[in-house]
Chain A
């Protein structure tokens, strides 16, 4: 890869993770949705399956999900250096914001305008996530596998209605995937 192109990728990586991190109100899955829009739909750096795999790894590893996802994304784009650049882009915005706010946090917390803006912004965040979910779910339906479609609904009901933790859902799906593998293996050996 020539030097100019690699500088360009690193700069784009830093810029994107910086902007996403500065706009992520409300937890790990929000930034994952924004990353999907940016890196899959806009820049076309990753495919959709890859983004879902990165999400699963980031969610089940220790540490903050946005940082975990940036490490993997950065590594994919430009090895260890890419990883470090993506981390910097992800942690600098909250560090700057908190440093500033920690000076006058009582005023910040009690400010009516900020409170209202944060409340209404949630529906904007929800609109973005729902858009991503529509696209992702459409693709699961397009796959036409009744098995995967049911897995999606069962996982949704478990997390949303029964508060089953994301970690447990991922572990159980892994177990299902492995069982599927074992079943396929036995079927094949029997046919031989």
Chain B
């Protein structure tokens, strides 16, 4: 039980101090789980990050579940995950209240209008990085065309056409490319 309380506060800190998404959380989790409490070895932690990258969902929730299960089974997983999201819940709820209260004010409108093109750019940049990762298996901007993957390029074109022209469901596009692509790789 004592360990679980310690874990609760560790993941509370992870949730509170990881600003800016998944990769920002990794060093924090490492500090809490590997360095401070020695709950996982560095090798196990590296495995955890690999798995987290291979599965859907935020890295911090993945780690909280993984570590929590080890210490106290499913109950531990729930406790650690809840700890991890308490700061998000309180802070975002507060911001949401302010946002919905003031977003129609003239001044707030002007500021938000300047923010939106930047958000579009951030999403575009994330999309380009994933595309490069898919086509070249590397997100380096120095493109090595020896690594260009023609199958993935074909799948991307088909997927993009399907979603724009025929409005196919995005989830079907994601899993469909995974399924069809894997079959193509095994046939060739």
Contact = CB atoms under 8 A, between A and B. Distances in A.
A187 B47 CA distance: 58
A191 interface: no
Contact of A181 (B54, B57, B110, B153): B110
A160 B112 contact: no
B1 interface: no
Q: DSSP class of B's interface residues: helix, strand, loop or mixed? A: helix
Interface string B120-145: 11111111111101110100010000
B65 A94 contact: yes
Contacts of B174: 23, 25, 121, 124-125, 128
4 tightest A-B contacts by CB? A94-B57, A120-B181, A124-B177, A63-B88
A33 B127 contact: yes
A90 B91 CA distance: 17
A123 B152 contact: yes
11 contacts: A53-B112, A53-B115, A71-B89, A87-B85, A94-B57, A126-B156, A148-B113, A155-B121, A166-B21, A169-B118, A173-B118
Contacts of A109: 47, 50-51, 54
Contacts of B19: 60-62, 167
A26 B113 CA distance: 28
Report, as a range, how many residues of chain A touch the other chain: 35 or more
Interface of B: 15-22, 25, 47, 50-52, 54-62, 65-66, 69-70, 74, 77-78, 81, 84-85, 87-89, 91-93, 95-97, 99-100, 103, 107, 110-131, 133-135, 137, 141, 151-153, 155-156, 159-160, 162-164, 170-171, 173-182, 185-186
Interface of A: 19-30, 32-34, 37-38, 49, 52-53, 55-68, 71-72, 75-76, 80, 83, 87, 91, 93-95, 97-99, 101-102, 105-106, 108-109, 113-114, 116-134, 136-137, 140, 148-149, 151-156, 158-161, 165-167, 169-170, 172-174, 176-178, 180-181, 184
Contacts of A60: 19-20
A123 B159 contact: yes
Contact of A117 (B57, B141, B182): B182
Contacts of B118: 56, 151-152, 155, 169-170, 172-173
